[in-house]
Amino acid sequence: GAVVSQHPSRVICKSGTSVKIECRSLDFQATTMFWYRQFPKQSLMLMATSNEGSKATYEQGVEKDKFLINHASLTLSTLTVTSAHPEDSSFYICSASSPWTASGNTIYFGEGSWLTVV
């Protein structure tokens, strides 16, 4: 079946640096990808919608200059956390959708990425 892969699964970075997380659809073309973040003891929350070839749409309260999203191809979206701070430490997960999968319109989740900023 379709698979969405995230990389890295875990990353530790120093405060003030930037870190990039990749989300790849491995066997289908994803016109739209979504990025979510999990706050401690809370549910995952949508950060932004990433559309191939256009600017991402950010949810209210999400800093677009801090969380840069690029969806340059139909199989790859990247989330870059710029000037990371310890409070950015979190679990980030992507999902990808495409109307061209064998099972019709559906969505697949990545495994997620744990970011620790020290």
Partner 1 sequence: KNEVEQSPQNLTAQEGEFITINCSYSVGISALHWLQQHPGGGIVSLFMLSSGKKKHGRLIATINIQEKHSSLHITASHPRDSAVYICAVGYGGTYKYIFGTGTRLKVLA
List residues near partner 1 by CB under 8 A.
6, 9, 32, 34, 36, 41-46, 49, 93, 95, 97, 105-112, 114
Q: Taking phi first (over 0 means left), then psi (-120 to 50 degrees means alpha), and beta for anything else, what does residue 53 get?
A: left
Least separation in angstroms between residue 38's CB and partner 1 is 8
Closer CB to partner 1, 82 or 112, in the complex: 112
CA 21 to chain centre: 7
Sign of the C-alpha dihedral computed for residues 92, 97, 101 and 106 taken in this order: positive
Closer CB to partner 1, 44 or 68, in the complex: 44
